[in-house]
Amino acid sequence: MLSKYDYFKPDTLEKALEYLEKNSETRILAGGTDLMLLLRKDAVSCEHILDIKDIPETKILSYTPKVGLFIGASIPVNRIAEDDVIRGVYPALCQAIDGLASFQIRNRATLVGNICHASPGADTSAPLLVYNAKVHIASIEGVRIVDIANFFTGVKKTTVKENEIVIGVSLPDVEQGDNSIYLRKARIKGHDLCNVGLAMRLTSKKEMYVAMAAVAPIPLRLTELEKTIGTKELTSELGPWIQEEIKKYMDPRRNSVRSSREYRFHIAGVLAKRGLLNLLEKEAK
């Protein structure tokens, strides 16, 4: 660690935002599972570390029927996955969390940190996309709310500015009969980042939403594919069709360390077919 920084842990959002306004070169610390690595490898230099874990707004994890779910920026992902109510309402989100790294990491890592780090393969991004999540971003001017679909701007880049803090993410409530699934393929079970992550959601109105991680510079919501699915009858016969169709909407890297482009196309097709059949099967019960 070469960085020499000021460590500041404010207990109100105002103090945090003022500190951020005054000090450029500030890194925000929540779970730290990304930041600590960067500091250790001296991949970033920062003069200030702002620990947001004492800010009350970031400590909220609450589900309200008819309103939805709010996940504060300091909430470790395990807290979300351990909540049976949340698991029942947003299954794809909890399944994505289950696949993240290891249990110890999930005790520290936060959902908001996962999207702010904005790795193209961020597992939790795809479920948030199919649930039309909103990201709450605070600055001294106030809080702006951004659709998750507009949050990612590039590889490890987001719409968050230097003087802003993401305080949380909210997911609208779902209606009875809504279901979703998250499927991922990694080189090994456990620790590894995914080669392809796929979230599918079948709403109570029988609309299919699809989002993918790790197949483009940013996590994708496949709205065009969704429109095409909407014109067809949802039966298991769609399986082979979606397996080929989904490949038109991705642009995987050509020189990735984890897998070849062809492999990602293939796996995306397999996962899409599997996800579709799984959701239709659950519906039939």
Partner 1 sequence: MCNQNGGNNCFEYVDSQMPRVPLQLVVNGEKVIEFVDPAMTLLNFLRIQLKLFGAKEGCGEGECGACTIIMDGHTVNSCLVLAVEAQDSEITTVEGLSKNGELSILQQEFINNDALQCGFCTPGMLMSARNLLDRHPEPTVEQIKEGIAGNFCRCTGYQSIIDAVISAAKREREELI
d(C-alpha 125, C-alpha 194), whole Å:
12
Q: Is 188 near partner 1 (CB under 8 A)?
A: no
Can residue 103 be called a binding residue for partner 1 (CB under 8 A)? yes
Binding partner 1 (rule: CB under 8 A), the pick from 19, 59, 87, 101 is 101
Tokens of 229: 């699915």
The residue among 69 and 109 lying less far from partner 1, judged by its C-beta, is 109
In the bound complex, what is the minimum distance in angstroms from residue 253's beta carbon to partner 1?
A: 22
Any contact of residue 5 with partner 1 (CB under 8 A)?
A: yes
Binding range to partner 1, per CB under 8 A, among 99-107, 135-143, 165-173, 209-217: 99-107
Q: What Cα–Cα distance (Å) separates residue 126 from each residue in 63, 95, 162, 220?
A: 20, 11, 25, 7
Closer residue to partner 1, CB minimum distance, 51 or 83: 51
At residue 104, the 3 state secondary structure works out as helix
Measuring CA to CA, which residue among 7, 1, 33, 35 is closest to residue 103? 33
CA angle, corner 207, sides to 205 and 213, nearest 5? 140
Q: Which residue of 22, 37, 204, 224 would you call a contact of partner 1, by CB under 8 A?
A: 37
Q: Write the DSSP symbol of residue 110.
A: B
Q: Is 195 in the site for partner 1 (CB under 8 A)?
A: no
Give the residue from 182, 129, 173 showing the smallest Cα distance to 151. 129
Residue 104 engages partner 1 in binding (rule: CB under 8 A) = yes
CB atoms closer than 10 angstroms to residue 133: 26
Contact between 78 and partner 1 per CB under 8 A: yes
Based on CB atoms, which residue is closest to partner 1, 62 or 107?
A: 107
32 binds partner 1 (CB under 8 A): yes
Per DSSP, 232 falls in state S
61 belongs to the binding site for partner 1 (CB under 8 A): no
Nearer to partner 1 (CB atom), residue 54 or residue 178: 54
185 three-state secondary structure: strand
- Contact of 92 with 201, CB cutoff 8 Å: yes
Binding site for partner 1 (CB under 8 A): 1-7, 9, 29, 32-33, 36-37, 39-42, 49, 51, 53, 76, 78, 101-105, 107-108, 190-191
